[in-house]
């Protein structure tokens, strides 16, 4: 177990306009100004009260790609490395195509261990081609091998309910994608239900290409993925209550998922007299 301090940094917009993404709403026009990210990071670190149990890991998410110098200027990367010296692990996120020399350089600059998060999203061939992510499995595999060869940890994001995946196959393809990531060395995989709200998801829904995930689907996907140990698989519970269809048991079921995220141990499903537990 480890405690993590997660910081969302505002910078340049990601050049990959993935159909499911809404992170562009928290970015700026144009390149990230040098010094902007380090100023934000310093502000959080100075004001953060770690208490009796200081966090072990620093997670830095900038709604773009950490190894894109338009998003993270070179001098900022070096400063961020120095500012993270008290953490035993540092997590950043970047598109598979940006993994390379800059990744290795940053890994050597930080005192702790680097973990790089990559969005694999789905291995469903039709959906993958329609996400506008400009990612194929060969490119993902190359990035995963590079990280493994250089002793850098791999965290992977997998979508539940990706557009163009038939709704009755949603859980199956999420599980297959998690398995694919685990087989390629992912130490952690997070299952993220696709959410509406960015406009494009609503357009795809009107065309019959997207159906929002349910809490039951998220439960089913996580329960089936616990067998992929030692890879740690978790369910992303951001706004999980929005996925619920039953007011009677939704809170209890979300708490169950939260416990499984922490322990990695399977639990019996929640029984509900109102909805039948489904």
Q: Are 19 and 52 in contact (CB under 8 A)?
A: no
139's CB contacts (< 8 A; 6+ apart) are: 96, 97
Domain boundaries, the chain: 1-111, 155-278
Spatial strand order in the sheet of 153-160: 4-8, 57-61, 89-93, 113-121, 153-160, 188-193, 232-235
Mean pLDDT (whole number) for 238-242: 88
Whole-structure pTM value: 0.94
C-alpha–C-alpha distance, residues 8 and 27, integer Å: 10
Q: Tell me: the pLDDT tens digits for 4-59?
A: 999 999 999 999 989 998 888 889 999 999 999 999 999 999 988 767 688 999 99
Report percent pLDDT > 70 for the chain: 98
Q: Tell me: the pLDDT tens digits for 71-123?
A: 999 999 999 999 999 999 999 999 999 999 999 999 999 999 999 999 999 99
Q: Tell me: the pLDDT tens digits for 159-197?
A: 999 999 999 999 999 999 999 999 999 999 999 999 888
Cα torsion 90, 96, 97, 100: sign: positive
pLDDT at 149: 98
């Amino acid at each position: 177990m480890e405690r993590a301090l997660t910081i969302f940094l505002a910078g340049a917009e990601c050049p990959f306009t993935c159909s499911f993404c809404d992170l562009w709403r928290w970015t700026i026009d144009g390149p990230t100004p040098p010094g902007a990210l380090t100023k934000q990071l310093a502000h959080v670190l100075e004001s953060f009260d770690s208490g009796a149990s200081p966090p072990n890991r620093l997670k830095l998410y900038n709604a773009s790609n950490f190894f894109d110098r338009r998003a993270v200027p070179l001098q900022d990367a070096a400063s961020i490395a120095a500012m993270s010296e008290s953490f035993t692990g540092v997590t950043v996120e970047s598109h598979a195509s940006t993994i390379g020399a800059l990744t290795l350089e940053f890994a050597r600059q930080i005192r702790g261990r680097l973990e790089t998060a990559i969005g694999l999203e789905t291995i469903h061939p039709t959906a993958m081609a329609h996400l506008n992510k400009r990612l194929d499995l060969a490119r993902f595999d190359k990035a995963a091998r590079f990280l493994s060869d250089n002793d850098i940890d791999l965290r992977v994001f997998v979508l539940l309910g990706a557009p163009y995946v038939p709704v009755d196959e949603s859980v199956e393809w999420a599980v297959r994608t998690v398995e694919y990531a685990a087989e390629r060395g992912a130490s952690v995989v997070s299952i993220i239900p696709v959410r509406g709200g960015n406009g494009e998801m609503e357009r795809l829904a009107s065309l019959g290409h997207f159906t929002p995930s349910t809490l039951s689907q998220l439960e089913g996907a996580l329960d089936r993925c616990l067998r992929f140990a030692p890879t740690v698989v978790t369910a992303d519970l951001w706004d999980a209550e929005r996925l619920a269809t039953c007011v009677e048991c939704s809170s209890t079921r979300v708490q169950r998922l939260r416990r499984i995220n922490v322990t990695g141990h399977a639990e019996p499903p929640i029984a509900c007299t109102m909805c039948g537990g489904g």
